[in-house]
Amino acid sequence: MVTINKNAKEELKSVITANRFADGRVVWLTDQGYWSVKLEEAQVISSQSDLEFAQEQAKKDVAAQYIIDPYSVELNSNNIPLTTREQVRAFGPSTHPEFNPRSIQETIPNE
């Protein structure tokens, strides 16, 4: 879990993420206390007390078997996760346009 450093030059921000128990989807805790599949709906946390409160909410949702494996994710100044792993979880895998199945099919000549 992230600990927010109050003495940092740039304000650190984070969000809480988990996987939904029912289907394994990546979800993000919103400021209304529900879980969304959209990162842009996540509550952006910038204080230690808010982080601790959100972590407690996540623990309750684990106990209710709504989510599994909650943890905090640090964000950059544009509210994008700092790590590649979390960017993939938030936005999906990145693939080169050449490997798009549609573009491959378009390049195969008709027989």
Query: What confidence tens digit (pLDDT) does each residue in 49-89 have?
Result: 999 999 999 999 999 999 999 999 999 999 999 999 999 99
**Domain of residue 76, residue span:** 13-107
- Beta-bridged to residue 71, according to DSSP, are 17
Residue 78 included in any domain: yes
> Residue 47 above 50 pLDDT?
yes
What is the percentage of the chain residues whose pLDDT exceeds 90? 71
pTM: 0.76
> Residue 101 above 90 pLDDT?
no
Residue 6 included in any domain: no
Domain count, the chain: 1
What mean pLDDT comes out for the span 33-40?
Answer: 96
Q: Residue 106 has what pLDDT?
A: 46
Q: Which residues contact 75 (CB under 8 A, 6 or more apart)?
A: 13, 14, 15, 44, 81, 82
Q: What are phi and psi of 15, to 5 degrees?
A: -135, 165
